[in-house]
Amino acid sequence: MGFSAAERPDCFADLNLDQVVHAVAGDDAVVAGYFHAGVRDVRDVEARQAVFRDLDDPAVAEPVRRFTATAARTRRRLGMLRRMTHQPQAGWWFVDVVLDWSAAVVALSRGLDAAGSAGLRGLRADLAEWVGHGEFPAVRERAADLLRRLGEVRYDLLLKQDRVTVAEHDPTSPGDFADRVLATFARFRRDPAEPPQPPPDLGLDEVEAAVLDLVARLHPELFADLAAFHDRHRDLPDLLPPDLDRLDAELRFHLAYLDHLAPLRAAGIPTCFPRVSATDKAFLARGAVDLALAAQLVERGQPVVGNDLELSGAERVLVVSGPNQGGKTTLSRTFGQLYHLAALGCPVPGHEVRLSLADRVFTHYPRAESSDSVASKLEEELVRMRDILDRATPRSVVVLNEVFTSTTGDDARALSLTVLDALTRLDVPCLWVSFLDELSRAGPTTVSMVSTLDDHGARTYRVVRKPADGYADAVAVAEKHGLTRARILARVRR
């Protein structure tokens, strides 16, 4: 069974992957779709990883970024140009679109030299062939020439009462009256910094359009050439590479995900490419964090705590217990996210990650809005659990968070042991947040992890294989404030 294309997997809400995808893709449904469908074999994962590695190189990412941005802009601008009726303006903008777009394509064809992945190297070869021959270079050349000629146009104006008069420019008149005013008062200036100029408003109102028409009459040949160029190349048929939409979408997916990782990396959170195996079910993650939570914490400038997790040999189930609010649910999300993101070929937060390629991640989290009757709540939980066990394959991954809490301890224990038995027979990697610590001692496949508090009873969000306890040391108050002689000497800048 593979990920069903384009449909959002059930686990997304539980693992907060919906938040991640929203943060990465925004309103871009095409990019969001890439997150829903994993790939089927390890070679495909590695091919995606190779593209991500390439795009991590700024030398490769920069032209690719420019290309995807320009593709979006060009689509929008061609739509607007079709509605523009004032020919001199439409002609000017069309030349601008042609130059903007063709520059991005050329930059992409030349900017992939540093790429190592098969995907981007193939793209480079195709584009190089295409931009070097036929109409593409010729159209580009003509557009550049028109823009140069338009840029050389100068004219003089007289504004008096209700008339605007245009005439040839007189190159001998200085036109520096504003400078004269400034120079007169320069002796009072303290700060040489000038205020920033507001960006120009690019729309033309009636008077500006009328002035442009007068200027066009001043330079009839230039504006005739401009109109002819626009007519002939109207929708850029000669400038759009084949299969543009798919190429653009794939590149957007990769870039958007890397952009999402960028602030985390800047905040010191390491990322890595998971080593993915089709057969080995061992699991290792060092310094792993919940991607959704980490993004929020980094935005607020708060520290992010990474955790180490491991399943080796016969171990399959991480049983997580310990104080509440200590990071148990976060750890369970981290575990599920790692499998899903790794199967997409994505880099993940962490120093090192090794895991098996999952065909699907199943999650069982408490439902806030479920029925308030105890009996039906348990029933609803059991139905969901049976559904998971029915559909899971030996290549699946299961994340359980506080199941069967609505029943008595004895019942919960018995039900949990049954589920554990089923999971063991399926032989799937699993993380199970549970208050039943005996689960962790149920056999060789289970491992215990405990959320911890620090010496003062504060949360650390660190979850470890052993419980740790401590006590506040009243004598060390001064030490705590960094006020011993040695600490002060170390703190003060000399």
Partner 1 sequence: MRPALLAPADSAPTAPAPVNPEVVEDLRLDALVAAMADGDDELRDLVRATVLAPLTDLAVLRHRQDVLADCLRHPGAVRALHDLARRAVAAERTVLRGAASGQAEPLLNRSRRVLGLFCGFLRELGAFADRHGRDFHSAGLTALLADVRTHVGAAYLDGVEELLRTMDFDNGIVLSARLGEGGKGVDFRLHEPPGPGRGAVPRRLRKSGLVHTITGHHEQDWRALAAFRGRALAPVAEAAARSADHVLGFFVALRDELGFHIGCLNLVDALAGLGVPTCLPRLHPAGERVLTARDLAEPCLALGTGGPVVGGDLDASGSGLVLVTGRNCGGKSTFLRALGLAQLMAQCGMVVAARDFAVSVATGVCTHFTRAEDRAMTSGKLDEELARMSRVVDLVTPGALVLCNESFAATDEREAAAIATEVLHAFVDLDVRVVFVTHLHELARTVHDGALPALSLTATDGFRIVPGPPSPTAHAGDLHARIFGDR
Smaller CB separation from partner 1, 74 or 406: 74
CB of 116 closer than 8 Å to CB of 54: yes
- Distance separating alpha carbons of residues 51 and 47, to the nearest angstrom: 7
Instruction: Report in angstroms how near the CB of residue 178 gets to partner 1 at its nearest.
Output: 4
Smaller CB separation from partner 1, 207 or 278: 207
Q: Tokens for 307?
A: 């955790």
- Distance separating alpha carbons of residues 17 and 10, to the nearest angstrom: 10
Smaller CB separation from partner 1, 88 or 347: 88
Q: Counting beta carbons within 10 angstroms of the beta carbon of residue 56, is it exposed (0 to 12), middle (13 to 18) or buried (19 or more)?
A: middle
Q: From its phi and psi, is residue 208 left (phi > 0), alpha (psi between -120 and 50) or beta? A: alpha
Instruction: Report in angstroms how near the CB of residue 215 gets to partner 1 at its nearest.
Output: 7
Smaller CB separation from partner 1, 29 or 458: 458
Instruction: Report in angstroms how near the CB of residue 83 gets to partner 1 at its nearest.
Output: 14
Residue reference for tokens 């209700």: 162
Cβ neighbours for 470, distance < 8 A, ≥ 6 positions apart: 454, 455
Instruction: Report in angstroms how near the CB of residue 77 gets to partner 1 at its nearest.
Output: 11
The H or E element spanning position 14 is helix 11-14
Smaller CB separation from partner 1, 128 or 218: 218
Instruction: Report in angstroms how near the CB of residue 136 gets to partner 1 at its nearest.
Output: 24
Smaller CB separation from partner 1, 312 or 484: 484
CA dist 62 → 96, 112, 253, 263 (Å): 21, 10, 15, 17
Instruction: Report in angstroms how near the CB of residue 161 gets to partner 1 at its nearest.
Output: 8
Per-residue b or e along 470-487, where b marks 16 or more CB atoms closer than 10 Å to that residue's CB: eeeeeeeeeeeeeeeeee
Smaller CB separation from partner 1, 206 or 410: 206
Instruction: Report in angstroms how near the CB of residue 484 gets to partner 1 at its nearest.
Output: 5
Smaller CB separation from partner 1, 47 or 211: 211
Instruction: Report in angstroms how near the CB of residue 341 gets to partner 1 at its nearest.
Output: 41
Smaller CB separation from partner 1, 147 or 464: 147
Q: How many CA atoms lie within 13 A of 373 on its CB side?
A: 4
Q: Per this entry, what is the length of the chain?
A: 494
Q: Tokens for 129?
A: 């062939």
CB of 432 closer than 8 Å to CB of 400: yes
Smaller CB separation from partner 1, 100 or 310: 100
CA 436 to chain centre: 38
CA 133 to chain centre: 36
CB of 354 closer than 8 Å to CB of 283: yes
Smaller CB separation from partner 1, 166 or 389: 166
Q: Tokens for 150?
A: 């338009």
Quick check: helix, strand or coil at residue 26? coil
CA dist 8 → 12, 21, 71, 162, 375 (Å): 7, 10, 27, 63, 30
Instruction: Report in angstroms how near the CB of residue 67 gets to partner 1 at its nearest.
Output: 22
Closest by CA position to 54, among listed 113, 115, 111: 115
